[in-house]
Chains A and B, each alone.
Chain A
Amino acid sequence: MSVTQLVPQDDTYTRFEARLESGDLNLPLLPKVAAQVIQLTSDQDADSQQLAKLIQGDQTLTGHVMRMANSAAFRPASPFVSLQQATARLGMRTISEIVLATSLNSKLFPLPGRQDLLQKYWHDSLSISVWSREIARMRRTNVESSFLAGLLCEIGKPVVLQTLLEGEFVDPADDTRIDNFVSKYQKVAGMILVTRWELPDVVGCVISETAAEGKDDHLETMLNVEGASALVQGGSDVYGLSESLLSRLNFYPEDLETLEELKTVVNEWLEAVAD
């Protein structure tokens, strides 16, 4: 996607686009543990035992896992006292999700002043990922891809925000202008990150809203994430989803009831993993 296709109308936009196109961006490194998790979920030969060891070596992550295992989302019969017990209870996939959710968080972007916005972006991404997972389950489509793609579908937002503020393109307090830039350039920025981090194809397809050639199977994941995004944007109002989207998701009134019931699951998950 070319940046110049995106309606540049004033000088600030032009300068900002030039910055994006130059690639001169202060992008964060993909956390090692997140990279390994992505590898694990997309490479059947990845060693899950090694990843477990990696988690054990990360104090913060271990704390998250323990808190998650003992949270209402999983309702243990009695509190877990060891990481091994907790990982065995939660399962490797859940652990992977926690690792991704906690490592790809707002702290990746050390941006003083607007941590509130970064926090919101991260919370929205997390919500989209969990809803994507549940929608995928309902639609009998791939659960793992949908979670990952949902988590990263708005990764361009913090990149745009960071670039805006570091380059002093906008007044840090001007929320409206920031929103305009973020909504206009987040896809481009997200795609830059997809390339830099060598993320799986499906993430790029979801961000760009374009299925890569020969990757028609990503269409289902894209639709799951679209549904999840609409839910999150609408404040989880399942009855507020558009008719057109419901038609494409093939969701009937009883499916909306199921979604409504899933709110508890989603909220518990979000509370458990939240900072």
Chain B
Amino acid sequence: MLSSCDFLVIGSGPAGQKAAIQGAKSGKSVILLECEPTIGGMCVHKGTIPSKALRESALKHRQARELLNVERPTELKPLMQMVDSVIAAHDKYITNQLDRNGIQCIRGKARFENEKVVKVTEPGGKERLIEAEHIFIATGSKPRKPPNINVDHECVVDSDSILSMNYLPKSLIVLGGGVIACEYASVFVNLGCEVTLVDRFAQPLGFLDQDLPKRFLDVFERLGGVFVGNTTVVSASSDGFTGAEITLEDGSIMKAEKVLVAQGRVSSLAGLNLEVTGVEVSDLGLIKANENCQTNVSHIYAIGDVIGPPSLASSAMEQGRKAACHALGKPRDELLSKFIPSGIYAIPEMASVGMTEAEAVSRFGKPIIGRAEFNEVARGLIAGSEEGMVKMISDAQGDKLVGMHIVGAGATELIHMAQVALTNQAPVSSFVDQIFNFPTLAEAYRVAALNIQGQLALASTVPDAAIAATEDTTLPLPRIAGV
């Protein structure tokens, strides 16, 4: 049986959903394929939503232990009680949205027969053929399986299986230094587990402005976590007795009840039979796509994790919309999609948009860095968010905002003010001119902006050497990067 449609979207995660809806709203006939029983992709069922629900529980438990001397929890499932209801509600919302837009959802796995026709196999083996004018590959990613590590999903787990544990392990080794590794490491340390984070780099989260991972590690280690950097793991497996063990390159062995392998993700392209389409795939296994997410085969688009970083749900959604618009001949305003914030739901939360300090130094020579600690604003003190910090980066003149980096409670929400400011090219002074609610963490923006203005004022009256000499003694201290 051969059916046809205008848009065939393979994968119903954030990228696929938005591409499908964009197409349907423009009057196109759209079929959305999903190989899992429910819509939403890994983001909803194995990743973003479940892990964030656990994070909320971890925060509450830590507060309860600190305030009420409550014992650490032993079971994992009760900590995730709200997950099922959140997923069900989200699933219902998305399904309704797809229905409203007349999108036909089909459960099955896709395999290209040729560049226009896809064979869909349902669980159990029933097959059908679908021909489409435009095809969007949004099959997402899955945990990378390093060849030297035996992931048995029992003692050695990955991010897909870690939440299947019934009981909280007493000890956990997390391999990796990326977002998933740091999020889970911080969640489990907040739940009272002995957590060791092992990574090959000197500091985790290397893609962020360096002040953020430093602050993250401070909090992680204060809670009892251990970070082992600059270390290569030779092997990891069940220890053959009570848990798991890893062997490091120097021959030393570390043991824990469980090992979480979070050493990156790889795109899920297996079974698509892309070879028959001529779509180019990079050496890293990512589909090559241009700025419109269009592959070298003009009617086939690739969106979301299959094209690699930033691998964020938010950027995937934007890619889905952008690709669909391009296919529809409706180019999107480039400015709209220029600044995409990163959010890391570790404890503490981190968020970032625009240039890092290192990038700004490389671009401007001496960018001006404005800082504000959360303990400088009333809301931060009230909320006990002392570890929080805002770092504002401007050009060398202290006028143009070029980057913002936030660590602490509410960081992933706060960052959007900077995103809007960057998008609208608002000057640093605009944060001084605004009246913010009191008490709020948003005041930290003003403190950081004032910090930049203070440095400008100081720089106009005092030589550089004098600024450097006073750098460590005054708080909040005017500081110029690179000085």
Contact = CB atoms under 8 A, between A and B. Distances in A.
A255 B204 CA distance: 36
Given A93-B155, A250-B36, A252-B123, A142 B242 contact: no
Interface string A252-274: 11100000000000000000000
Interface string A222-258: 0000000000000000000001001111111110000
A91 interface: yes
Interface string A118-140: 00000000000000000011001
Interface in B198-226: none
A91 B121 contact: no
- Provide the main secondary structure of the chain B interface: loop
Interface residues of B, number: 36
B438 interface: no
Contacts of A246: 123-125
A83 interface: no
B121 A93 contact: no
A216 B81 CA distance: 9
Contact of B241 (A42, A88, A247): A88
Residue among B74, B123, B155, B238 with the highest chain A CB neighbour number at 10 A:
B123
Interface string A169-194: 00000000000000000000000000
Contact of A216 (B84, B154, B161, B169): B84
Nearest to A242: B124
B164 interface: yes
Given A217-B77, A247-B124, A42 B166 contact: yes
A214 B82 CA distance: 11
A145 B166 contact: yes
A197 B152 CA distance: 30
A61 interface: no
Interface string B222-259: 00000000000000001111100000000000000100
Contact of A243 (B77, B81, B124, B239): B124
Given A249-B123, A250-B123, A142 B241 contact: no
A28 B283 CA distance: 61
Given A48-B242, A144-B166, A217-B77, A137 B123 contact: no
Interface in A26-73: 42, 44-45, 48
B123 A142 contact: no
Contacts of B153: 137, 140, 143
A93 B156 CA distance: 13
A220 B166 CA distance: 12
Interface string B105-134: 001010000000000011111100000000
Given A91-B240, A144-B154, A247 B167 contact: no
A162 interface: no
Interface string B126-160: 10000000000000000000000000111100001
7 contacts: A93-B238, A140-B153, A141-B164, A142-B164, A220-B164, A247-B107, A248-B37
